[in-house]
């Protein structure tokens, strides 16, 4: 009889312990302790052999019943705890999908690059291709071949940064002071084809930096060489560019001027984009804004490029890229362009 009492006591104890097991690891300990190979219920089952014969069937049946009931209780409890642990884990690791994301701030093209690309597309419509020439130039290309000999006073128009190492043939090197040397490069490469190119690029001048002038800036040069090209073609090209870039009802004014590499030389103005000719601070109360230097390619320069001036003629123009954009957007200080201040750059 004592064996039956012992079994029922163990049964009750096991159920109480099971209710107190709160984690899967506590459940495993419980299973080892009661139902495992050396568990207390398992040991009870082994005792059957030592019992009086008449008790054996009843005890054996009861042990099996208890074992099955405990196994069932254990399975149900395990399921319950697993579910609890899972939902706790889900709650702990929950992602709040209603939180706003962290913004990714995309970069964008620099104001100068935007202006250059707009200019490329305007000139592309007129059949000009982009031709790139080097920033570090030979003295001959920047000056001599453009009809500016060493002691010519016109050299003073371009204060120069010199590079210490000499170039090919011992020629002095410099940072190009304008994009015009690209005219010679384009002509020497393209002869005897007609030419219609624009030459964009950075130029460098040994100058005081002010709100209106930087020592590095972009220019865009244009060059057309062909048979029978005239001043009319040049003026028409400038007018078309001015209207596409500054607005359809711009007036263009042509003044005579001087450059050693063009003859005749001109300067082109447009009526002020701000006051339309009334007079304001942007146009310094003249009503006009200067937009380009230009002219018919000097015969000597054509010859230096390989073209016979008796057969060929051409026009060239050149202008700064930053200043028109300054006027368009009302930028008051040219130094902001390359000052790397995002507060400025993000506005464009
Ligand atoms: N290179 C000249 C300058 O820097 C501009 C120019 C280009 C003038 C082509 C005439 C023809 O001022």
Query: Tens of pLDDT along the chain (348 residues)?
Result: 578 888 889 999 999 998 888 888 899 999 999 998 998 988 888 888 888 888 888 888 989 999 999 899 899 999 988 898 899 999 999 888 898 989 998 899 999 999 999 999 999 999 999 999 999 999 999 999 999 988 888 787 788 999 988 777 778 999 999 999 999 999 999 999 999 999 999 999 998 888 888 899 999 999 999 999 999 999 999 999 999 999 898 899 999 999 999 999 999 999 998 888 898 888 889 999 999 999 999 999 999 999 999 999 999 999 999 988 888 888 888 999 999 999 999 998
DSSP state of 199: E
Q: Is the CB of 204 under 6 A from ligand 1?
A: no
Q: Is the pTM of this model over 0.75?
A: no
Report the residue among 180, 199, 301 best suited for mutation to probe ligand 1: largest number of ligand atoms under 8 A from its CB.
180
Helices (H), 21-157: 24-34, 40-47, 56-92, 111-125, 139-142
Q: Which atom of ligand 1 is nearest to the CA of 319?
A: 5
Cis peptide before 192 (omega within 30 of 0): yes
Tokens of 21: 């097991």
Pick the CATH number of 111-345 from 3.30.930.10, 1.10.3720.10, 1.20.1250.20, 3.80.10.10: 3.30.930.10
Q: Residue 331: its pLDDT value, please? A: 87
| Residue 306 burial class via C-beta count within 10 angstroms: exposed 0-12, middle 13-18, buried 19 and up | middle
* Measured distance CA(93)–CA(89) in Å, rounded: 6
CA of 292 to the centre of ligand 1 (A): 8
CA of 317 to the centre of ligand 1 (A): 6
Nearest to 64 by CA among 35, 37, 31, 38: 35
Q: Is the CB of 318 under 6 A from ligand 1?
A: yes
Edge to edge, what strands does the sheet with 162-163 contain? Answer: 136-138, 173-175, 162-163
Q: Is the CB of 178 under 6 A from ligand 1?
A: yes
CA of 259 to the centre of ligand 1 (A): 7
Question: Which three-class secondary structure state does DSSP give residue 180?
Answer: coil
Report the residue among 202, 255, 293 best suited for mutation to probe ligand 1: largest number of ligand atoms under 8 A from its CB.
293
Phi first, then psi, for residue 263 (nearest 5°) are -155, 115
CA of 145 to the centre of ligand 1 (A): 14
Q: Is the CB of 267 under 6 A from ligand 1?
A: no
* Measured distance CA(191)–CA(160) in Å, rounded: 29
Q: Is the CB of 262 under 6 A from ligand 1?
A: yes
Tokens of 193: 């084809």
Report the residue among 148, 195, 221, 234 best suited for mutation to probe ligand 1: largest number of ligand atoms under 8 A from its CB.
221
Q: CB–CB of 294/239 below 8 Å? A: no
Q: CB–CB of 253/215 below 8 Å? A: no
DSSP state of 195: E
Q: Residue 1: its pLDDT value, please? A: 56
Q: Which atom of ligand 1 is nearest to the CA of 180?
A: 1
Structural domain boundaries of the chain? Answer: 2-92, 111-345
Q: Within the chain, what is the greatest distance between any pair of CA atoms?
A: 138
CA-nearest residue for atom 4, ligand 1, is 178
Using CA atoms of 266, 321, 147, 302 in order, give the dihedral in degrees to the nearest 10.
-80
CA of 286 to the centre of ligand 1 (A): 22
Q: Is the CB of 314 under 6 A from ligand 1?
A: no
């Amino acid at each position: 009889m004592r064996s039956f009492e012992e079994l029922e006591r163990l049964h009750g104890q096991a159920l109480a312990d099971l209710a107190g097991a709160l984690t899967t690891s506590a459940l495993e300990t419980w299973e080892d302790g009661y139902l495992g190979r050396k568990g207390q219920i398992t040991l009870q089952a082994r005792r059957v052999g030592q019992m009086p014969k008449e008790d054996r069937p009843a005890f054996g049946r009861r042990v099996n019943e208890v074992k099955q009931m405990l196994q069932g209780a254990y399975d149900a409890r395990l399921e319950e705890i697993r579910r609890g642990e899972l939902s706790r884990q889900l709650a702990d690791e929950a992602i709040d999908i209603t939180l706003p994301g962290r913004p990714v701030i995309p970069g964008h093209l620099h104001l100068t690059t935007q202006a250059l690309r707009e200019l490329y597309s305007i000139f592309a419509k007129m059949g000009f291709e982009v031709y790139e020439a080097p920033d570090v130039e030979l003295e001959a290309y920047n000056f001599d071949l453009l009809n500016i000999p060493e002691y010519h006073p016109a050299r003073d128009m371009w204060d120069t940064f010199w590079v210490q190492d000499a170039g090919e043939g011992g020629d002095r090197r410099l940072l190009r002071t304008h994009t015009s040397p690209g005219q010679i490069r384009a002509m020497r490469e393209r002869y005897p084809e007609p030419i219609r190119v624009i030459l964009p690029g950075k130029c460098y001048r040994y100058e005081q930096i002010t709100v209106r002038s930087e020592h590095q800036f972009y220019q865009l040069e244009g060059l057309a060489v062909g048979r029978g090209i005239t001043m009319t073609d040049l003026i028409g090209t400038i007018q078309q560019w001015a209207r596409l870039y500054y607005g359809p009802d711009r007036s263009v004014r042509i003044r005579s001027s001087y450059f050693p590499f063009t003859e005749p030389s001109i300067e082109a103005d447009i009526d002020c984009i701000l006051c339309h000719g009334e007079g304001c601070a942007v146009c310094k109360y003249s009503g006009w804004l200067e937009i380009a230097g230009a002219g018919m390619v000097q015969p000597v320069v054509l010859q230096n490029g390989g073209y016979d001036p008796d057969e060929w003629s051409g026009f060239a123009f050149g202008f700064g890229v930053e200043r028109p954009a300054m006027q368009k957007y009302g930028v008051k200080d040219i130094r902001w362009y390359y000052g790397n201040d995002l507060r400025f750059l993000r506005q464009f």
